[in-house]
Amino acid sequence: MSDSLGDAYPKLAARLRKLPIAALPTPLSRHTVGTAAGTRYITIKHDDLTSDVYGGNKVRKLEYILQRAKDRGAKRVATFGAVGSNHALATAIHARQLELECTCFLAHQTPTPNIPGTLRMHLQLGTELVKWGGGVDRLALYRRYLQGRKAWVIPLGGTCWLGAVGFVNAGLELATQIEAGELQVPDRIYIANGTMGSAAGLAIGLALANLPTKIHAVRVADNRFVRREVLFNLMNKTAELLRRFEPSLPSGLVRPEQVVWRGEFFAGGYAAVDEATASACAIARNQLGLTLDTTYTGKAMAALLHDLETSREDESYLFWNSYNSRPLPPLTESVRPGENLPQQFERYFD
């Protein structure tokens, strides 16, 4: 397992430990796409393969976050998301691998095909599922489910400065692959921008590697969660704390001009699907051999395909595939919605 950040800064690695749960580096593949401007080439960074158990971009964050939970003596982790949340499921799966109990506070969302399977997997794992949002008394819930249980709370999407460090590592990993001749320096990287931790960390990692690549952060969540000023605040905090742990890190790692904010592919709501998203998922499946989701990666692919239509032949685009492609472990026949499923979530099995 590679650790590009730790290899570059051994003292930082000693002070900022991580669990080796990710299969790194993730591979790259090169593909052709037919456009109105002619044939174009794109590179795909396969973070869908970050783990043999359950991949996706969240695994990079969980390496650092779950290590901190273990270091602090946690017996349980708790996190947040929508009912179909990849982050919540990744947390539950990898927590179980580490013999940690898991509580997930989940909110309603627009129904998508993956939700029944996701909820059934939570039930098989023994995840404690709690209805969250929609006017519930959050303080009462926290007292009931967290107080006195040695719980380590993981923010929505695993987005915090520590989680973002996982993508600082990813930026340096990509730089190592460029140096090894696996790809040329991309002009643009397209990545789904949900709770912003991946884009924030990646921007710092690219700056640390002195790469000029622009990150096209494609907004996929509501403005309550996804705002430019919050992204740059997270970048500043991450860079500042990294330099506290390792003063030899250079200054000037936060470069707002390196992140291109893309909000025009939101499709009107979280998990909402429009023609551009559906078409992008179909093209990815038929031409690139990729299975994308319509909530996150489909919207990022829609932005990339839109821009390819007017791109120059010499421009290099990279798509960061953050959606898990590993099959879920088989469900036991006994896993059915029951008393351990909040009644409000039964609607997703209709």
Q: Check whether residue 225 and residue 291 sit in a common domain.
A: yes
Q: Does some domain include residue 305? A: yes
Give the C-alpha distances (Å, rounded to integers) separating 109 from 106, 134, 153, 319, 345.
Answer: 9, 11, 22, 26, 10
Kindly give the pairing relationship between strand 101-107 and strand 76-82: parallel
b/e 125-162 (16+ beta carbons within 10 angstroms → b): bebbbbbbeeeeeeeeeeeeebeeeebbbbbbbbbbbb
Calculate mean pLDDT across residues 25-33.
97
Q: Check whether residue 120 and residue 165 sit in a common domain.
A: no
Q: Does some domain include residue 257? A: yes
Query: Which CATH number goes with the domain that contains 252?
Result: 3.40.50.1100
Q: Does some domain include residue 348? A: no
Query: Lowest mean pLDDT: which of 108-112, 210-214, 334-338?
Result: 334-338
Split into its structural domains, the chain has a count of 2
Output the CA angle 104-195-79, nearest 5 degrees: 15
Q: Does some domain include residue 346? A: no
Confidence band of 36 (pLDDT split at 50, 70, 90): confident
Sheet with 76-82, strands from edge to edge, namely 128-131, 101-107, 76-82, 151-153
Of 126, 158, 190, the domain-final residue = 158
Of 158, 183, 211, the domain-final residue = 158
Residue 151 confidence (pLDDT): 98
Residue 333 confidence (pLDDT): 63
pTM value is 0.95
Q: Are 151 and 280 in contact (CB under 8 A)?
A: no
List the one residue out of 61, 112, 158 whose CA is nearest residue 297.
112
Q: Check whether residue 180 and residue 77 sit in a common domain.
A: no
Within 10 angstroms of residue 252's Cβ, the number of other Cβ atoms is 7
Q: What is the DSSP letter of 53?
A: S
d(CA 187, CA 236): 23
Within 10 angstroms of residue 205's Cβ, the number of other Cβ atoms is 25
User: Does 329 have pLDDT greater than 90?
Assistant: no
Please report which residue ranges of the chain form alpha helices under DSSP H: 4-8, 10-15, 58-71, 86-97, 115-125, 138-145, 161-179, 197-208, 228-245, 275-288, 297-308
User: Does 331 have pLDDT greater than 80?
Assistant: no
Residue 336 confidence (pLDDT): 65
Of 158, 175, 201, the domain-final residue = 158
d(CA 16, CA 21): 15
User: Does 337 have pLDDT greater than 70?
Assistant: no
Q: Does some domain include residue 122? A: yes
Q: Check whether residue 169 and residue 301 sit in a common domain.
A: yes
Q: Check whether residue 164 and residue 250 sit in a common domain.
A: yes
Q: Check whether residue 283 and residue 252 sit in a common domain.
A: yes
List the one residue out of 337, 40, 50, 5 whose CA is nearest residue 173.
5
Q: Check whether residue 75 and residue 149 sit in a common domain.
A: yes
Q: Check whether residue 39 and residue 185 sit in a common domain.
A: yes
Calculate mean pLDDT across residues 171-193.
98
Residue 222 confidence (pLDDT): 86
Q: Does some domain include residue 143? A: yes
Q: Check whether residue 177 and residue 230 sit in a common domain.
A: yes
Confidence band of 134 (pLDDT split at 50, 70, 90): confident
Confidence band of 334 (pLDDT split at 50, 70, 90): low
Q: Check whether residue 186 and residue 209 sit in a common domain.
A: yes
Coil/strand/helix, residue 153 = strand
Identity of residue 295: T
Q: Which domain holds residue 182?
A: 4-57+160-321
pLDDT tens readout for residues 267-323: 999 999 999 999 999 999 999 999 999 999 999 999 999 999 999 999 999 999 999
Percent of the chain with pLDDT over 90: 89
Average pLDDT over all residues of the chain = 95
Q: Check whether residue 123 and residue 53 sit in a common domain.
A: no
Calculate mean pLDDT across residues 128-134.
93
What backbone phi and psi angles, to 5 degrees, belong to 105?
A: -90, 110
Q: Check whether residue 8 and residue 105 sit in a common domain.
A: no
Residue 262 confidence (pLDDT): 97
